[in-house]
Structure formats: structure tokens, C-alpha cells
Structure 1
């Protein structure tokens, strides 16, 4: 049969995630799916091209959605999983809406300024007619026409504010600007903040109220506005500069969002963890050790610190990583995990879910 997820399934999903956000769920959340299900329909004529930005505009929004429909129909949703699609136009796509040039290849999307300017000469304005923004809107409308409220559509990855700045002012120059032009950096940070929220609100007006709820590039379902915030640029700065240039804007965004999470990417960002955890509105942290670092199971002290601060967390990695982290913490409360397996691993996954009452 086609996408196998009923209104009753959505009711259960809403109730479970609502309890998790409220700290009332005494087990982990498992966003899980098993591939290899009979889709009950013919394969789409458009191949799966991965990142949404890779589908050329010559392919209609309806045909892209039909490809997604086929892929979603091949999955069995288990645990706390649900059918979802992420509108993936690359990390930091807000830069495109602010005038950056775009590029797409098989592996990545990149953004760069039409011309390099000195920081006092950079100003931001949002182009609501940008072709990529229009494409995102057309995909949303085609998906809603096809599915109604059956499939959750995830917000595109608009990026972190200093990451957006570094698109228009290359990182090595932006680092010097922190010393030479601190007021200009702060001005642009708040200009980017304003544009970020204009784009976020604009797209949510298209997504809601048909969308079941809110998700982002990480599908942690929420009935209220949620986003996975980030600042990859802060890997290159110390704690003092983080507190001066990054934290105020993050705190302001956390105050506006009902359920903000933070993407803590790599050991170089651990220096900022204490400061992040002190932001009252921040609800949780996604810790990703990154390439070349020890696996998630090797960082129990990071997860303990997050829990001791009263925050939720996402544990990345496989089921063994998750099991070891749960054992280190004593229980799985407040943890989110996402993953998918083929039919050959179905028994292993279901046994794990049964252990925690999520089957």
C-alpha cells in the first residue's frame, strides 16, 4: 500500500512528542523506519536525486513530490517514526535569499557573494522572489495538494547567523573584523537575525496550518515552532568572542522559538557548551563529535553535562552508541535518536524498541 501512516498514527505521534518535550516521557524518542516495504504503487519516473536542490527546475514540483511519495511508501514507520520530507537546499540557504550566488553539484551546495565588499558596505535585504525560495514554496504547495496533512514537511536549512555573514565576508576576513570592526559585525548579526525571522515566518505561513507540525533538518516533531540552531563559525573563536558575538543573537532566537535545539558540531565547539547551556530558552543540544573524533559513545561526560543542565539531547550514531549512552546516564529519558534499517536488520531494531516500550 502507499504511505502507511493514518490519522490515528499522527494522534499517537503528537501525544508522544508532546510528552517528550514536556519531560514526561520516561524513555527515549525513536524516530525510526524500516526500508524495503512493498510501496503498492509504480516507481516514480524521476530518480531519487538526494538533496532537493539537485532536482532541476525542468522537473515539476509535482514530479519531485511523486518521487518522494514513492520513497516514503517503501518505508515502514516504527517506534516514534513518521513520514517526513526535508526541503534541502543546502546549509545556510538564507544567504541565497539575501543575494548570494548559488552552486550545486553531486555532493554539496555552496553560496558565495556576487562581489566581495568591505564589512561597512554589506547590508542585507530579503528577496521573496528569489527562484529558490519560489521553488521551495511550489514544492510545499504540491506536497500539500498530494498529501494534505499526512506527511510532515521540514523547514529548509537557513543556517546560523555568523555562518551567513561568512558567506558574504569570507571567514578569515570576518575573524579579523571581530577585532577591527566589532560594531559592524554586530550590526550585520542583527540584520541577519531580522532577515532569518522574516524568511522563517514567511515559509511557515505557507507550511501551516496544513503541515502536521514543525520540523527542521532534524525531524524532531513539535506542535509549536522548533528549529535546530547552529553556528559552525564559532569553532574558530574563543569563549569571550562567542559570548560577545554569538550568544546574544542565539538567546534572542531561543526566546522566540518554543522548542529551540542547538547543533554542537565537533570537539572545537565544546568550549562553548557551558555558555550555551546557560541560555534559559534553549531546550536541547545535538552533539555530533564529527569526522576523526571518537564516536558518540565515547563522550558520556558531554551527555551528562547536557542532562544536568536540564536540557534534552539528540544522540547520533548506531544502536550500540545509543545503548552505551543510556547505560552511562542511567536511563533514556530526554534522549532523541533517529535511524533507519533495511529488512535484514528489522528484528534487531524491533527488539531494541521493545526493550524501551516503543515497539
Structure 2
């Protein structure tokens, strides 16, 4: 076994369109450890870029849900893109079984609405449930069944060709928000905090079982743990988050969000917190204390939240805490960013227009 695989406790992963897979994994594991190998890791696509892929099949469906549920179409759409794309640096060919960000909540009985590029849950709890009447995950529901099909179908065709990820999973307060509704849950924090604690904690056992169910499928095929952020691990890789926290105080975050987030992180081998906007970033000090946290994905937002350079003090604060930062840059921001920020701990996501641009970026990063 090669030294890199022995060192990280992994196994060789051979992907035809990714001959430098071993070196890319070595860079990522250096990043997990807070080190820089030869340059910072870089993924040549930006956050949510997967939602911008146009449908050119001409196929029609009775509803948007039918399109999302068409497993053959979803896989073929991915394979069509695979045939025309080059995967330089830490850009990986990943098929991601995706039924939207609230599919975990939908598996507990929430009505689920499919849009063009995302899906959302409608609240199902008119009041906070009693401790002995908490919602339970329905393993036989159509969403779990479909995720199984999407995953199994992709795994059959994946050997030597691409990686297969696991779906987006949100437990904790974001799960409570989906089941209860945002306004109702905000009032619950004041009216019945004990019941919120009980509801928030009730999903954790199902979350771990749900995660392990899909992780086992992937690992049984000698695949890597990977999901929508496209950063792989030989162990259990997870993206903890709490978008709901943009609407609550630091004290409420510490009381209601942190207990579940701590359990999520402790269960995993590698964790990258999805910090979605400046509202969530208000809780950075607490987030930085999470156990087994390798990094934070900073999602800066649009409009007045651009450009990235205004967030450099926060990025440096994360670096100073010994954590990595996953950050989106445009090509025209790269030089200014490099001049202001140390390379250690940075994981870049950059949208490019050509392989030539990507190669030029790599040459520049080697001199960072």
C-alpha cells in the first residue's frame, strides 16, 4: 500500500478521469491536519454551481417531483457532464444523490415541495409534541426508498469512473424548523424551551442511523465519504450547520444549537461547518469550539456581502484558531486575496471558464 494511504488509514481509489487522485487526497488530508502540502487545495467550481447545470434532454415529466424522482435521468445527466469535463486539482467527479436540503425532515412526515433547483418542507407539527410522542423517521417512506435507489444505481456504475456521495442531512434546530415552522419555533424558544430541547434532541438517534445507513452503502463499495461540498474522507465526513441560528442570540445558540452540534461532530471523523452568511457568523466564537472541527465553509452571500476582501479579518480569525476555511473566490479576486491571507488552512473554490485558466491558477498557487 502506498505511504499516503497507510498514513491516513485509507485504501487506493482509482478513478479513470482523475489520475492524480492520490496526490489530491494527500493535499486534503494535509488540510484536515492544518498543514499545507505543496499548495492549498482548490476546487474549480463555486458553491451551488451544481444547480446551474442546464437540462438539455428535452424530456417531460408530469410534475417537478417526477423529474427529481427519475433516477435514470438524474444519473444520465451526471454521466453526460462527466464525459465532457476535466477534473483538475481537488475537483472530483461526484454523483450526489440529491432530493433537496430538507429530505431528512420529509422522512419524518413533512409535506415536501419540489421546485426547479431545490425543495422545501412544510411544517407538520401544529404544537410541540410530548416527550413520549416525538416524530420518528419512516424508513419505508418514498424519500428514503428513492435515496436508496439513487445511491444503489450510481454505485453499480461508479467503479473506476466516479465517486458516489450521500445526501444532504440536517438534524438539530434546522430539522425542528422544517417540522415546526420558523415563526412558531422562534416563539417556542421563549414559551416552552424545555419542549424545544426535547424535540431538538429527539432526532439525533435517527440522524446517526440515517447517516450510517448511507455511509455503509458507500464504504461497502470502497468509496469515500463525500457529499455536496465535494471534500472527501476515508472516515465519516459531515457538514454540520444551523441556518436557523441567524435569527437567534448568542445565548440561545449556545443553549439550543450547541448540544446537538457537539454530538454531531463527536460522532464523525471530519467536520466542516457550513456557515451560511453573516447572521450565522455572529456565532463564530461558539462554532470554533466544536470538537473534531477541521474547518468552516464561509458562504458570504451576495450584494453588499461582496467582495470577499471585506471578510478577511474573520477568515484570519478562523485561521488563528487553527481551523481551515473553505472560501469562494472569483478569478479577479485571487491575487488580492493571496496578498492578504496566509495560505495555511485555505481551501479555495473558484469558478473558471477553461482548463487553461485552471492551470494558470494552479501555477499561481504554487507560489503562494
Would you say same fold, with TM above 0.5?
yes
Matches within 5 A, 1:305-344: 305-329=317-341, 331-343=342-354
Q: Is the 8 A contact 1:315 1:322 kept in 2?
A: no
d(CA) in 1 for partners of 2:212, 2:60: 29
Is it true that 1:28 corresponds to 2:28 in the alignment? no
| TM-score (norm: length of structure 2) | 0.84
In structure 2, the CA distance between the partners of 1:295 and 1:102, relative to structure 1 (3 Å rule), is same
d(CA) in 1 for partners of 2:294, 2:146: 31
In structure 2, the CA distance between the partners of 1:48 and 1:22, relative to structure 1 (3 Å rule), is farther
Is it true that 1:17 corresponds to 2:28 in the alignment? yes
Match of 2:182 among 171, 178, 189: 171
What's 2:260 paired with? 249
d(CA) in 1 for partners of 2:43, 2:200: 34
Cα deviations by residue, 1:286-312 (Å, 9 ceiling, x for unpaired): 111213323222111110110011001
1:113 deviates by: 3.4
Is it true that 1:84 corresponds to 2:68 in the alignment? no
Match of 1:356 among 359, 365, 368: 365
Matches within 5 A, 1:1-359: 5-6=17-18, 8-26=19-37, 27-32=39-44, 55-57=67-69, 59=70, 61-114=71-124, 116-120=126-130, 123-210=134-221, 212-292=223-303, 293-329=305-341, 331-343=342-354, 346-357=355-366
1:175 deviates by: 1.2
Cα deviations by residue, 1:69-110 (Å, 9 ceiling, x for unpaired): 111111011122221122221112110111111111224311
d(CA) in 2 for partners of 1:262, 1:48: 37
Q: Is the 8 A contact 1:68 1:85 kept in 2?
A: yes
d(CA) in 2 for partners of 1:161, 1:149: 36
Q: Is the 8 A contact 1:72 1:83 kept in 2?
A: yes
Root-mean-square deviation (Å): 2.6
In structure 2, the CA distance between the partners of 1:201 and 1:149, relative to structure 1 (3 Å rule), is farther
In structure 2, the CA distance between the partners of 1:46 and 1:4, relative to structure 1 (3 Å rule), is farther
Q: Secondary structure at the match of 1:88?
A: coil
Q: Is the 8 A contact 1:88 1:157 kept in 2?
A: yes
1:270 deviates by: 2.3
1:111 deviates by: 0.7
Q: Is the 8 A contact 2:288 2:318 kept in 1?
A: yes
Q: Is the 8 A contact 1:46 1:63 kept in 2?
A: no
In structure 2, the CA distance between the partners of 1:123 and 1:146, relative to structure 1 (3 Å rule), is same
d(CA) in 2 for partners of 1:86, 1:75: 16
In structure 2, the CA distance between the partners of 1:53 and 1:32, relative to structure 1 (3 Å rule), is farther
In structure 2, the CA distance between the partners of 1:306 and 1:208, relative to structure 1 (3 Å rule), is same
d(CA) in 2 for partners of 1:86, 1:53: 17
Q: Is the 8 A contact 2:296 2:324 kept in 1?
A: yes
Cα deviations by residue, 1:13-48 (Å, 9 ceiling, x for unpaired): 322322221233242111227xxxxxxxxx995769
In structure 2, the CA distance between the partners of 1:305 and 1:67, relative to structure 1 (3 Å rule), is same
1:177 deviates by: 1.1
Q: Is the 8 A contact 1:213 1:221 kept in 2?
A: yes
Aligned length: 340
d(CA) in 2 for partners of 1:202, 1:255: 18
Structure 2: 5+ residue stretches without partners: 1-14, 46-54
